[in-house]
Amino acid sequence: MERKSEGIYTKMAQQKNSTRALYRWSYTSMWRLAFLLVLAASLGVGSSDAQDVVQPATSEEGTGQRNDCRGATKDPLSSITSSGHCPKITAVTPHHIQRTTVHRIDLVIENLDQIPENNVTCVFSFADATLITEAQKKPNGVSCVTPRNDFIPAVPAGEHNITAQLSVRPTNGSDIVSTSFVFFDCNSFTSCTQCVSSEFP
């Protein structure tokens, strides 16, 4: 009888130990699985947006690929970039002028080395007017003159300048690159000294 009881207790102990071992294995496996799921989520594995996260970002007028340039499929000059990058205006000289004068301005433009001769214009866009002048190709960009002063909108009362969007545009196309250009009016100041000491000397 004692041997039978010992056998029963031994079997129960073995079952208890097996249950504990199974519980420890299940508990450990559960935490391992949870860790792997968290790791996979942090790495984007299995996510349809994972590739979007690692794609390099580009700007419209910065160093994006040509296919990302605004109007690349429409413009006759969509193949102007030898490096495959979008054009970018890096300098405008001068960057502002007296409204009552006509001045030649130079635009330094990156990635525009293959622009054809006599096929582009400078476009000055105001809120209520769009003025276009012819542009000429230069080794590092384009050059054009500002519009006639009698076509430029008046400076609003209480203001000292008016800002236009200056764009480079093919003769029969859309804008390929743009920046801001300021026309100031010294007559809006109460004295010549104020104008000279302003940001528009």
Q: Where are the beta strands (DSSP E) in the chain?
A: 88-93, 96-98, 104-110, 120-125, 130-138, 141-145, 161-170, 177-184
Torsion over CA of 150, 125, 184 and 147, rounded to 10 degrees? -40
pLDDT band at 10 (very low <50, low <70, confident <90, very high): low
- In the chain, the number of structural domains is 2
173 in the same domain as 112: yes
pLDDT confidence of residue 18: 54
Are the C-beta atoms of 178 and 166 separated by less than 8 Å?
A: yes
pLDDT confidence of residue 84: 65
Residue 60 within any structural domain of the chain: no
Q: What's the whole-model pTM score?
A: 0.59
71 in the same domain as 42: no
Q: 140-162: per-residue pLDDT in tens?
A: 899 999 999 999 999 999 899 99
Residue 2 has pLDDT above 70, yes or no: no
CATH label of the domain that carries residue 81 = 2.60.40.10
121 in the same domain as 38: no
39 in the same domain as 92: no
pLDDT band at 28 (very low <50, low <70, confident <90, very high): low
How many Å apart are CA 112 and CA 57, to the nearest integer?
A: 21
The residue segments making up the domain with residue 39 are: 2-52
Query: Of 2-6, 37-41, 54-58, 101-105, where does the model show the most confidence?
Result: 101-105
Average predicted confidence (pLDDT) for the chain: 71
| 177-184 and 96-98 beta bridge pairing | parallel
Residue 118 has pLDDT above 80, yes or no: no
19 in the same domain as 114: no
pLDDT confidence of residue 125: 97
Q: Which of 138 and 53 is assigned the larger pLDDT?
A: 138
Among 87, 89, 85, CA closest to 67: 85
Q: Which of 90 and 74 is assigned the larger pLDDT?
A: 90
Which CA distances in Å does 28 have to 25, 37, 42? 5, 14, 21
